[in-house]
Chain A
Amino acid sequence: MNDNRGSWKCLKCNEKLAKKKTVFTYLGHNFSHEVMTCPTCGKVFIPKDLAMGKMAQVEEQLEDK
């Protein structure tokens, strides 16, 4: 799915996605990261490689704290 990330859009707003700093929270820790979101409604887009890659790594680190 990382091949055509640029062609995704938010159906409701009919908007192309744009990068935006977004706050994440896990086990009481907060941190922010730039992810694709709908510029109009703010809906966050998490592709599979992000969820299973970097996000899973961070989750694991926080679980080990």
Chain B
Amino acid sequence: MKMRLEDATSYTAKCFNGEPASCSYACPFRLDLRTFMDRAARGKWSSAYKTLSNAVVFPSLVAALCPQPCRNHCQRTQIGDEALMIRDLESACIRFAKNKKPVKYAIPPKTKSVAVVGAGPAGLSFALNLSRKRYLVTVFEKTGGWGGALREHEKFPEFDQEFTLLFSAVETDFQFNREIKSLEELSGFDAVYIATGRGGETFGLKDTLDDKSMATGKPGVFMGGAVCDMPLMESIALGTQLSQSVEVFLETGKLTELDRDADRIKCERYLRHDGEEKKPVVVPGLPDGYTEGEAMSEASRCFQCDCDYCEKSCEMLKSFKKKPHRIAVEVFTDMQGSTLSSRTLTREAYSCNICGHCKSVCPEAVDIGALLQYSRAERLSAGKDIPAFHDYWLREMDYAVTKGAYASAAKEKTSAKYAEAKLAPAGFAEAKFAFFPGCQLGAYRPEHVVKSYEYLADKYDAGLVLTCCGAPAYWAGDMDRFQKNIDQILKQWNELGKPVFVFACATCETLFQAYMPEIKRISLYELMAKDDALQPVQGYENAAIFDPCNARDDPEMQTSVRKLAEKAGTDLTELPEKNRCCGYGGQIRLANPSLYEEITKNRSEASDKPYIVYCANCREVFASREKPVTHILDMVFGLEPLTGVQTLQEKRNNSLEVKRILMKKLSGEEFQPEPNPWDSLSLVVSDDVQKEMDHFLISAGDVKETVFAAESSGEKFVDEKSGTSLACLIKPVLTYWVQYRMLDPRTFEILSAYYHRMRFIEDDE
């Protein structure tokens, strides 16, 4: 089904990045206080005044009389500071702004006429707004001047001056000393606004007032302000809103519901402001208010509250500088048009670790990773993916779910020893178990899988399932392949009698939780931590625990690993941030090598202590950076930590070794994988070439296959001078090249191996 815009934007619907801050939501005028404070802090008084006067209509009046609901929602108070002195800053702005000249709008005059009854603040605000749109506005006031109840206020001369200034820019007709006794007198007007003030004339219409549209029962007659018991600021703010809806009425005859309190609740939406420095309120040195410097310094206390938690703490979001809403729109736009149309989000989509960190820091739990995984899936199904980004891991997965796969029930049914030994965790007393080690643990260290299985078989009569959980397909967005793998796993699970799966990898467990919730799960580390008889061996005296991203929602797994490490006597340090992705997640390495480098470096340097990990991928990342690291299973089984990273071929051989040992153990069969014709070739590879092959994820198998194809067909290039050959092998996604020297008919020295993603079209005519 074709993607709709809302399919993408629904992922970020709750994100409030870019929305007004809490203070603005509390303001009856929705004054953009962030912009106002930013301009004030820089001493840009005229532009700050513009922001202020555009929103509040009568700046002097508001600066003098607003009860400042905004201050109750100023997030300075979140860290124990006093709220910003907003009204004092508004007053300062009015004093320091050099340009307060009202703007004249170059719009054509309208022919519709509007009568306003009452020249108090409500009527004036409405009249000013509609006059600016050049409607023919006449204000009828029974007294001799404007201002209504404000005429009694000590600052009225100031307000009076402001009214004069503002109305000098428009053509409002003021009829003072003209009391309207009946609406009949106004029958020539297209609309009427009754704003007669507290206890003022309502022309018998008050009971007919609809407080959503502020329309009365008499068509074209509206009412608002203190006559409707509205507070002063709300009455002025209504003038702006109502002028817009009366304009709609004048042009279309339709009434609009004014959602005056919509979003007000968002004034409670606060950020955490962790680590922000406290700053005391700036007290004016002079009785008549702030000096310019004082005002700038007070305004600079504004946090400029706008949520950027995800962007601030994610290297990927930081590097691309795109906001969540924009990412969602680009997820959609990238799927429009032909394959040749320009796409804008491809690199980002494939640069995300899909680690859930953004979701965990977001106040609204918005998950950009889920959005980008969705984008990958949509791209793949539309043929708009970049196959080279994930080809390597998909081929590894194919291998793990075919040649490397194996499943078996426990060898022999003994009594439920674990129940007697009181090992079974709560809720699992009668359970059958099967170990699901995942594909990476054995690839890195076969003993971990073999010994863990022996442990589980001994204590829990556990069966075994060797295969891949499907993470590479999930990360590639290949949901068909992922679903096929799920179906296969579910089939095996049913055949084994629906055992509880014991996981050693948090990624497997997380995917099972989401996609195979019917399979009951427990972590290997939880079972081991509950076993009093088990005594892990101290690897490092002092170490930091590096929790994998996918263990974020599994506190039991996290606690169990800590228990095991503490039992070993390790002095544990907690990292400043837990469950950050080591860099491996989402398989971004080929899509964005420099970002991968940055992330893995940052994680390695999160502590100067050696790491204890419980994810084979985390271990590989840190080992590749020469960070001292041990897997918790090294400690459980008393093994020396491995240094360095296994070559791709070693990993593949290790996986087969696990299968060979456990198959023999469980079913007595000798595992003899069908050999490839090139398997028997021997390669001589220098450390430098090996490093480069591993960096570009070129396996020895790929190299052997390339050499084998050239040697058997004779199709290759030769350089007689150096005595070397160059062979080419075109695979579905990559084209491999190997330069080599034959040492004997089955042994080849590899001088370099490389590939390209583009294809050439050979013209053999």
The residues of A with any CB-CB pair to B shorter than 8 Å are 1, 4, 7-12, 17, 20, 22-29, 35, 41-46, 48, 51-52, 55-56, 58-59, 62-65
Contacts and interface: CB of A to CB of B under 8 A. Distances in A.
B286 interface: no
Interface residues of B, number: 36
Interface stretch (B444-452, B472-480, B752-760): B752-760
The CB with the most chain A CB atoms within 10 A, among B717, B718, B721, is that of B717
A37 to B, nearest CB: 8
B758 A48 contact: no
Contacts of B187: none
17 contacts: A1-B726, A4-B721, A11-B714, A22-B761, A23-B760, A24-B760, A24-B761, A25-B759, A26-B758, A27-B339, A28-B339, A29-B340, A51-B754, A55-B758, A56-B756, A58-B758, A59-B757
A36 to B, nearest CB: 9
B343 interface: yes
A7 B718 CA distance: 8
A11 B721 CA distance: 14
Interface string B111-149: 000000000000000000000000000000000000000
Contact of B718 (A8, A26, A28): A8
A41 B715 CA distance: 10
A12 B712 CA distance: 12
A65 B721 CA distance: 42
B756 A45 contact: no
A28 B665 CA distance: 51
Interface of B: 339-340, 342-343, 346-347, 386, 388, 714-722, 725-726, 728, 735, 737, 739, 752, 754-765
A30 to B, nearest CB: 8
B722 A4 contact: yes
The CB with the most chain A CB atoms within 10 A, among B739, B760, B761, is that of B760
A25 B714 CA distance: 26
Contacts of A8: 717-719, 726
Given A20-B763, A43-B762, 10 more contacts: A1-B739, A7-B722, A8-B719, A22-B760, A24-B761, A25-B761, A46-B728, A63-B346, A64-B347, A65-B343
A55 B388 CA distance: 14
A32 to B, nearest CB: 9
Contacts of A12: 714-715
B691 to A, nearest CB: 14
A46 B729 CA distance: 12
Q: Which 6 residue pairs are nearest across A and B when measured between Cβ atoms? A: A26-B758, A42-B764, A23-B761, A51-B756, A28-B339, A7-B721
Contacts of A1: 726, 739, 752
A26 B754 contact: no
B739 A48 contact: yes
A26 B757 CA distance: 7
Contacts of B719: 4, 7-9
Contacts of A26: 757-759
A63 to B, nearest CB: 5
A44 B762 contact: yes
A7 B758 contact: no
Nearest to A64: B347
Contact of B759 (A17, A24, A65): A24
Contacts of A10: 717
A27 B759 CA distance: 10
A17 to B, nearest CB: 7
Contact of B756 (A4, A11, A59, A62): A59
A58 B714 CA distance: 31
A57 to B, nearest CB: 11
B726 A42 contact: no
Contacts of B763: 20, 22-23, 42
Nearest to B753: A48
B761 A48 contact: no
